[in-house]
């Protein structure tokens, strides 16, 4: 485990139970593929989750439609379980509720999931053309890490890009990046953005965080390099991922200013919105 961590991050270091949230749309199809890929590599058990959106009034007015939706949901879950079985992955289906984000978080807590995998957008996310509302709310509310998979996103196999600013949220991300890099035999690039509006002292903290985290990853036997680059954090991360050929970006849920009632740090949300590869947002206990 990375030796710079100052707080416990046991949840971020586990790959035992993976919950994949799927609404049956093209926005979540690739999330299912990635979730199965994680389970194949780590031996984790897969828990597919989908929604039957309903409420008492709707059930009274159109019970036949609710019943059909339930049957369709069951078929969808069964199809994921069957796909997973063909690839040697054990899976147990889950289904519940009428509020996607709340039910996903509740289902993850019920099974003590280590990671939630879901699409960057859902059926209702198209109009915003950014991060789906449910995705933001799930990341903000759940205790476990979340992988947001964009449409056409694929399983990582080249390089992990780890963003850090030296915060405890970044430490959680570093612990997860360490675990993933070892499990998937991948190199890691650590980056910190030297944001022009930040003070020199704040920028120096970023440089030191890169150096400290890179050294810790190397001590853990990983192929790691680090760099601090000028620019806005999301732009730096997206450009470097492209330049380095990274196909997984790992971030903390917030940065140094990400406290209070904010569900998800603005940098993390902007990176998720722009990235063409999966983003893993690590959570602290």
Give me the mean pLDDT over the 99-120 stretch: 91
> Is 192's pLDDT higher than 90?
yes
Q: Report yes or no: 12 and 145 within 8 Å, Cβ to Cβ.
A: yes
What lies within 8 Å, CB to CB, of 112 at 6+ separation is 17
Q: Each residue of 138-190: pLDDT tens digit? A: 988 899 999 999 988 999 999 999 999 888 889 989 999 999 999 999 999 99
Q: What does the alpha-carbon distance between residue 144 and residue 127 come to, in Å, rounded to a whole number?
A: 28
pLDDT at 97: 61
pLDDT at 6: 40
Domains in the chain, start-ordered, CATH in brackets?
Answer: 17-149 (3.40.50.620), 160-282 (3.40.50.620)
What lies within 8 Å, CB to CB, of 79 at 6+ separation is none
For 91, which DSSP code? B
Please state, as a whole number, how many other Cβ atoms lie within 10 Å of the Cβ of residue 267. Answer: 23
Q: Report yes or no: 221 and 188 within 8 Å, Cβ to Cβ.
A: no
Q: What does the alpha-carbon distance between residue 97 and residue 116 come to, in Å, rounded to a whole number?
A: 17
Query: In DSSP terms, which residues pair with 252 in a beta bridge?
Result: 282
Q: What does the alpha-carbon distance between residue 213 and residue 175 come to, in Å, rounded to a whole number?
A: 10
Q: What does the alpha-carbon distance between residue 121 and residue 60 come to, in Å, rounded to a whole number?
A: 30
Query: In DSSP terms, which residues pair with 248 in a beta bridge?
Result: 160
Burial class (CB in 10 A: 0-12, 13-18, 19+), 55: exposed
- Give 58's pLDDT tier (boundaries 50, 70, 90): low
**Helices 266-274 and 233-244, axial angle in degrees (round to 10):** 40
Six token digits for residue 168? 């405890």
CA 60 to chain centre: 37
In the predicted model, what is the mean pLDDT of the chain? 84
pLDDT at 169: 87
Average the pLDDT over each of 31-45, 106-120, 128-142, 211-225 and give the range with the smallest value. Answer: 128-142
- Give 25's pLDDT tier (boundaries 50, 70, 90): confident
- Give 7's pLDDT tier (boundaries 50, 70, 90): very low
> Is 38's pLDDT higher than 70?
yes
The angle formed by the CA atoms of residues 11, 222 and 258, to the nearest 5 degrees, is 45
Six token digits for residue 174? 């570093």
Tell me the three state secondary structure of residue 211: helix
Q: What does the alpha-carbon distance between residue 265 and residue 252 come to, in Å, rounded to a whole number?
A: 9
User: Is the model more confident about 85 or about 261?
Assistant: 85
Tell me the three state secondary structure of residue 130: coil
């Amino acid at each position: 485990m990375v030796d710079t961590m100052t707080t416990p991050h046991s949840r971020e270091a586990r790959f035992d139970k993976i919950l994949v949230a799927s609404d049956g749309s093209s926005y979540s199809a690739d999330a299912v593929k990635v979730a199965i890929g994680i389970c194949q590599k780590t031996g984790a058990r897969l828990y597919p989750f989908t929604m039957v959106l309903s409420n008492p009034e709707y059930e009274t007015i159109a019970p036949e439609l609710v019943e059909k939706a339930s049957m369709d949901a069951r078929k969808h879950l069964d199809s994921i379980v069957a796909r997973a079985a063909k690839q040697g992955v054990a899976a147990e289906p889950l289904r519940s509720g009428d509020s996607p984000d709340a039910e996903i978080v509740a289902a993850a807590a019920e099974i003590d999931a280590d990671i939630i995998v879901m699409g960057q957008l859902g059926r209702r996310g198209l109009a915003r053309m950014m991060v789906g509302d449910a995705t933001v709310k799930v990341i903000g509310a759940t205790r476990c890490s979340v992988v947001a998979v964009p449409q056409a996103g694929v399983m990582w196999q080249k390089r992990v890009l780890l963003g850090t600013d030296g915060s405890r949220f970044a430490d959680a991300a570093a612990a997860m990046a360490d675990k993933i890099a070892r499990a998937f035999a991948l190199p890691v690039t650590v980056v910190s953005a030297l944001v022009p509006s930040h003070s020199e002292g704040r920028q120096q903290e970023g440089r030191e965080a890169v150096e400290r985290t890179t050294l810790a990853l190397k001590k853990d036997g990983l192929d790691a390099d680090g760099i601090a680059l000028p620019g806005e954090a999301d732009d730096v991360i997206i450009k470097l991922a492209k330049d380095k050929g990274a196909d997984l970006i790992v971030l903390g849920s917030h940065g140094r200013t990400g406290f209070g009632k904010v569900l998800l740090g603005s940098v993390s949300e902007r990176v998720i919105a722009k990235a063409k590869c999966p983003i893993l947002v690590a959570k602290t206990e």
